[in-house]
Structures are given as C-alpha cells and as structure tokens.
Amino acid sequence: MRFYFLFLHIIFVHFFQPQIYAEKELVSSEHKIAVIGTGYVGLTAGACLAEFGNYVICCDIDEKKIKFLNEGGIPIFEKGLKELIDKNLALHRLEFTTDISQAIQNSEVILICVPTPMGQDGAADLSIVKSAVKTVAENLNNDKILLFKSTMPLGSIKRIQKLIQKQKKSAFNVEIAYLPEFLKEGTAVQDFFEPERIIIGTESKRLHQVIYDILAPLRIKNVPFCFTSFESAEIIKQASNSFLAVKISFINEIANLCDKTGADVREVAKGIGLDSRIGPEFLKPGPGYGGSCFPKDTHALLYEAQQLGVDLKVIQAAIEANDRQSKIVLEKLLKVLNSSIKDKTIAILGLAFKANTDDIRDSSAILIVNELLKRDAIIKAYDPIAMKNARKVLPQLVYCTSAEEAMYGADAVMILTEWEEFQKIDWSAVCNLMKTPIVIDARNILPIQMLRDLGFLYENIGCSHATGSDYE
Ligand code: UGA
C-alpha cells in the first residue's frame, strides 16, 4: 500500500505539480523587501520576487484583504499566482501584514505598488503614493532603497524625491529608482518571469547592482536591463501603453472601414501585421480598449504634455476613437433591433475588460450595459469570473450561471469579452433557445458562416461582409 502512495506521489510531483518558474540555480541573493500595496502588481511582484529567493513582506492597509491572504485566499484571479504564493509562504520567504511601519523597518528595499488612479482632470492622482512615501519617511531606521512600480506621471519621481528629503526626520539615506511595470493582467506571472525588458530610472549608480541582485534570474536569462533618467522611465511607461492604445484604436477604425466595404479586417490585420515593422500583436478590433491602464495612461500623458504646452494629437485621436468604439457596437445592435430596445431582453456574454481576468475597471462591456440600461433593456449577463465584481457596480442585472441560461428567451446576444468558453457554445442548440437569433460578436470570436447557416442574424467588427467558408 505504501508503495502505491509513493508511486502516486511521484506521478503527482512529475506531472501535476504547478509550473514554478525560477530554477534552483537562478536564485538571487536574498534581499529583504517590503512591498506596499497588494493589488495586481504588488501581489504578483511580491510572490515572484520571493520565488527569486528574496524575503518579501507584502503589506496593505486593507485588513480584510490581508486576513484573506493569510488564510490562503487570493483576492484576484491571476493564473499561476496561488501556486506561487502557497509555495513561498511554505518556504517562509513571503508574508502578509497590515503593519507597514514594521515591514519598512525590517526591510532594506521598499517597493511601492499602490494605485495611481485617474483624477477628475485626467492627471494621475498621486495621493496614495504620497501617503505610502510618508510612511516610509517616518520609519527610516537605516539607509533604504525605495523602488516605485506604481505608474508614475512625468516629473513625479523628482517631486517625490524632494518630498522625502523634507519629510524624513533622520540622516538616513533614501536611494530611489522607478521600475515601470509591463505586466498584463491574466498573464502577469508569466510576464514577470519572461519580460522583454527591465526599465530602471535612477540617479544612483549603487542601485544598479542591487537591482541586478534582486532580479538575478532575469539577468541570467539575458533580459535587457535599461538604466535611464527618471523622466525617460516615466515617459517609457506611459508612451508604451499609449502606443498600444493607438494601435488598437487604429485597427478599430480600419475595422469600421472594412464594414463599409467588402474587406475582412482579419485578413487586413494579418496582412499588415506580417510587416515586422508593424507586428501582429494588438491588432484585434473590438468594443474599445479598457482596463485600469490604457484609459488612465493615455489621459495622463495627454494631460502632462498639455501642462508643458505640447499637443499630443495622435494620442488625443486614439482616445476619441476609443470613446466612439463602444457606441459603434451599440449602434449595430440598435440597427438590427430597428432601434427599439425598450423592454427587450439582451444577453451579455462577458463583463471583464478582456479575457482571463475578473477585472471590470473601465471595461467596454460595462459601458455598453449602462447604455442599454438607460434605454430600458432587460440585461441577462454571464461572465465566467467577473460577475462578483460586476454585481458591486451593476446590481440590477440578471446574473446567470451559464451562457446558455443568459441567452434563454433573449432578443439578442452581445459577446463583449473574448472568453474561450464562448467559442465552445453549441450554437445550433442556442438558435432554438433565443426568442430571436441575433448575435453581435464584438470580439470576432465566432465562426461567421456557421452562424449564418444556422439562421442567425450575425454582426461583428470589421468582417460583416465576409463571404464563403470561415476564415482560417
Ligand atoms: C496593459 C499593458 O499591455 C501592459 O504591458 C501594462 O503593464 C499594463 O497595461 C499596465 O500598465 O499595468 P492590461 O491593461 O492588463 O495591460 O491589458 P492588455 O492585454 O494590454 O489589454 C488592454 C485592453 O486592450 C483590453 O481591453 C483588451 O481587450 C484591449 N485589446 C488588446 C484590444 O482591444 N485589441 C487587442 O488587439 C489587444
């Protein structure tokens, strides 16, 4: 019997053990790091830095969240994160606390990962960062290294540097670097272990070695480390996100053009993306980009440039095109329902701002649902994991336990997030479930010809006129 269990154990370890990314020989020198803020960035960075061999204390003012983490819960949906946290908690390289002062005093490196949300005027709101920095200044018990992962607006790091000088009551030194984050929600753990570059804005030469040490496994993998000025690092972060936002708005406009012609945007995107100067990524049209980063960073960069008298016309246009895109999707529905939405039942598949996340911040799906509610539609919604968050802002929706339940008796269905499970739906069965078989596929994930052959009135973004067999 014992051998049987031993055999099962070996099978489990070899085949089912979650993939842990850092290899033994890649472990870095052990730095004591306090991570302030346990959101998407802080929690992922904390767990991954612990995996690299550092000793990490993740802290947050949110007592409920820390209690949940200490009980083995994970407050966000992020692939691979739970395995990483469980492993490093067991190895005593990771801990969670609300005692931020203690965490700062016990660490040599402090990583700021708190949010910098968009203020009323489009500028990034730094109040949470400032309050975290004040806590650091008040708890200096030796020299500290302060690293910023939160997205910092142009000129802010130097301002924060001066603030610390003013606030600190001791002679201890605080050296600063800005390491902007390029993780994508949904693939954050993988992105942390396989980054395309590490950007470090700093004025301190001594910090180069500390950062090499903390991220040693990435150095061994030959990831480029680019040391820059504070301002360059600030612009690199916001310009990267803005460039990607421009790319999405660009393809959304081209998709809208395709709809007025016989062109198919999937063919067009493939054709232009094969030019390596353009590249194939971020050329998927949809209901407009959302999330906590692109809308915020484009507005913030625009605002900061305006303060300096610089007119960023391309980014302004990308924002305007994005604001219009969700309306274009809505118009497609209005058109097929002959403009009468009042008391119609609309099934909404997908509420998250993209697939593989439970995040609904600035989600186009939420924008579209709000517009439908204004027009007195009845909404039956389904999302594999974002419904818990959606319920908090849209309690009036009818939440369903499956896509089929949401579509039962509906006058039309809108696909607003590209969840893989929506592609596996048996549309021949759905055809008989719905009151009228109308599909608005705002993510272009369904086989067009098949749906049309089944008798659906089917609309999408940029390939409405696609004819013949489904595009491969
Ligand atoms: C984005 C950046 O991609 C990350 O590099 C960056 O670290 C992060 O912001 C941040 O600043 O923290 P994220 O917002 O998580 O990451 O998500 P993305 O995968 O970039 O998607 C953003 C939006 O663009 C989503 O609404 C998505 O549906 C949309 N999108 C993306 C498209 O409409 N088409 C595409 O081809 C790609």
Q: What is the pLDDT of residues 102-112, one digit of tens each?
A: 999 999 999 99
Residue 19 has pLDDT above 80, yes or no: no
Residues with catalytic roles: 293
pLDDT in tens, 135-166: 999 999 999 999 999 999 999 999 999 999 99
| Ligand 1 binding residues, C-beta < 6 A | 151, 181-185, 241, 244, 248, 282-284, 286, 289-291, 293-294, 353-354
Question: Measuring from atom 19 of ligand 1, which residue has the nearest CA?
Answer: 184
Average pLDDT over residues 422-445: 96
Centre of ligand 1 from the C-alpha of residue 245, in Å: 8
CB-based burial, 408-443: b 16+ in 10 Å, e otherwise? bebbbbbbbbbbeebeebebeebeebbeebbbbbbb
Question: Measuring from atom 29 of ligand 1, which residue has the nearest CA?
Answer: 289
Plot region of 122 (φ>0 → left; ψ -120 to 50 → alpha; else → beta)? left
Name beta bridge partners: 439. 413, 458
* Mean pLDDT, the chain, integer: 92
pTM for this entry = 0.92
Centre of ligand 1 from the C-alpha of residue 294, in Å: 7
pLDDT at 311: 97
Nearest atom in ligand 1 to the alpha carbon of residue 292 is: 14
CA distance 59 to 34: 7
Centre of ligand 1 from the C-alpha of residue 249, in Å: 12
| Residue among 83, 80, 86, 74 at smallest CA distance from 39 | 74
CA distance 461 to 361: 22
Centre of ligand 1 from the C-alpha of residue 413, in Å: 25
pLDDT in tens, 361-414: 999 999 999 999 999 999 999 999 999 999 999 999 999 999 999 999 999 999
Question: Measuring from atom 24 of ligand 1, which residue has the nearest CA?
Answer: 289
Question: Measuring from atom 28 of ligand 1, which residue has the nearest CA?
Answer: 354
